[in-house]
Amino acid sequence: MNGALLIMKKEYMELSKDRRTLFFTFVMPLILYPLIFLMMGRLGSSDAASRAGRPSRVCVADPSGVFAPVLRDAQGDFTVVPRPPGDVRQAIRDQKLELSLEVDPAGAEKLARNESLDVRVLYDNSDESSKLALDRFKNQLRRQENLWVQARLKALGASPQLALPVKLETVEAGDMSLFLGKLVGSFLPYLLMIMMYAGAMQHGIYATAGEKERGTLLSLLATSLPRTQIIIGKLLYIFSIGILSALINLLSMAFSVGRLMASTGAADAPAQAAVTGVAALATPAALGLTFLLMVPLGLFFANFILLGGIQARNTLEASTALTPGIFVVVLLGVFSMAPGIEKMTWLPYVPVLNVSLAIRKLFSQQGNGFEYLVALVMTVVLAGLMTWISTRMLNRESAIFRV
């Protein structure tokens, strides 16, 4: 084992000599995610604030003047603008105004006759300002409709509650943390897998096909170190760099998202609840058990990268062979996020996917000890099998001297 640790030390020594790679592997994620989320937060909040503080521009075609007092009452929410020349739809798309109201010309008479009047609203669903204008109008209309209904009931001498046979009270019975746990649990395996694989891939290629390309692998094999230890040393390096990379990316991302949610939390109660909920779910036990599953899975990925690298003639060939692996991991991740997969009875027995499932259940507080153990044992066996294949491969001359 000492030889394997020496090889791993050599790999880390080589990495430590390359400041640029070190920066992009370990420092960049710590800067990138906070920066991205900070910018997203700033842009989002400043855009929302500027929209909220600005009245919506509305053009109104209302010959009978039914809606003039309605819009006037909502002071600050609307600015009535003249109808633009040409197509009103195009004007809304061009953001010259947010909303266009076309009220029934006989609206006043219909109201007087206690009939319904028709109102046509034009808006742009792809534009946040236009959607806000529609929401504002609907709120104002709801208040006005209530007044009209009350007036009609009063005129008829009926109870004001005539139009309200049921008073509906909705109470949230679900657990916010459980909901968030399911959400985090469905995302987490996917993120961990993709970050582990992608983080380890280039380093693995450098340590395998790169060594062949640079002619240094033979000098290593010519030493008295047993080949098994050389391969295990490289495996440990690829595995550890994958785990480190995934943890750094994930921590940075979690910190950034947490900051973003906390910063919006003052004005947004659900966001605040989300932060509290996630914090409650990420217990040391859940995190520890997740990490325990990620170890054999990381070894499995490291072996996969190692095999691809050893078999390749050069780094380009290795890169070409291993890149599709990212898409496979993405597909596995997408599958693991699919709703209802926890109901598939065969899934706990499918390697790799059962790890996703186990992590999902851990975070939704539905952990199943048996399924967890099956996933752990299967992944450990798989990683062991792959390690055995890798060591066999490095002993094959066709792999070493394939140049």
Partner 1 sequence: MITLTDLHKAFLVKDKRTRAKRRIEAVRGITLEVRPGEIYGLLGPNGAGKSTTLRMIAGLMRPDRGRIEVCGVDTVRRPEQARALVGYLSTDLGVYSRFTPRELLKLFGEFQGVEARVAERRGMRLLEDLGLADFADVRMEGFSGGQKQKVSIARALLHDPKVVIFDEPTTGLDVLTAKTVLDLLRVMKAEGRSVVVSTHVMPMVEAICDRVGIIFDGVLHGDAPPHEILARWQVATLDEVFFRLAEGERA
- Whether the CB-CB separation of 139 and 88 falls below 8 Å is answered with no
Min dist. Cβ of residue 209 to partner 1 (A): 13
User: For residue 338, how many other CB atoms are within 10 A of its CB?
Assistant: 10
- Cα distance between residue 375 and residue 381, in whole Å: 10
The residue written with tokens 């105004």 in the block is: 97
The residue written with tokens 């819009």 in the block is: 71
- Whether the CB-CB separation of 30 and 248 falls below 8 Å is answered with yes
For 66, the token pair is 């039914």
- Whether the CB-CB separation of 321 and 306 falls below 8 Å is answered with no
The residue (of 10 and 51) whose beta carbon lies closer to partner 1 is: 10
The residue (of 180 and 241) whose beta carbon lies closer to partner 1 is: 241
- Cα distance between residue 197 and residue 298, in whole Å: 8
The residue (of 208 and 354) whose beta carbon lies closer to partner 1 is: 208
The residue (of 207 and 332) whose beta carbon lies closer to partner 1 is: 207
Min dist. Cβ of residue 284 to partner 1 (A): 38
Residues that bind partner 1 (CB under 8 A): 3, 6, 10, 13-14, 17-18, 214-216, 218-226, 397, 400-401
Min dist. Cβ of residue 203 to partner 1 (A): 14
DSSP code string of 167-184: -------S-HHHHHHHHH
The residue (of 138 and 313) whose beta carbon lies closer to partner 1 is: 313
Point out which residues pair with 79 in neighbouring strands: 57
Min dist. Cβ of residue 31 to partner 1 (A): 24
For 392, the token pair is 């066999």
The one-letter amino acid at 135: D
Min dist. Cβ of residue 314 to partner 1 (A): 13
The residue (of 185 and 204) whose beta carbon lies closer to partner 1 is: 204
- Cα distance between residue 232 and residue 386, in whole Å: 11
The residue (of 159 and 395) whose beta carbon lies closer to partner 1 is: 395
Min dist. Cβ of residue 16 to partner 1 (A): 9
Q: Which helix (H) or strand (E) holds 395?
A: none
Min dist. Cβ of residue 292 to partner 1 (A): 32
Picking from 300, 298, 278, 275, the residue whose alpha carbon sits closest to that of residue 287 is 278
The residue (of 219 and 320) whose beta carbon lies closer to partner 1 is: 219
The residue (of 122 and 400) whose beta carbon lies closer to partner 1 is: 400
**Residue 108, exposed/middle/buried by CB under 10 A (0-12, 13-18, 19+)?**
middle
Min dist. Cβ of residue 2 to partner 1 (A): 9
Min dist. Cβ of residue 7 to partner 1 (A): 8
Measuring CA to CA, how many Å separate 190 from each of 147, 180, 250, 290? Answer: 52, 16, 11, 12
For 70, the token pair is 């309605």
Min dist. Cβ of residue 202 to partner 1 (A): 16
The residue (of 230 and 353) whose beta carbon lies closer to partner 1 is: 230
Which DSSP state fits 85?
Answer: S
- Cα distance between residue 78 and residue 132, in whole Å: 11
- Whether the CB-CB separation of 104 and 119 falls below 8 Å is answered with yes
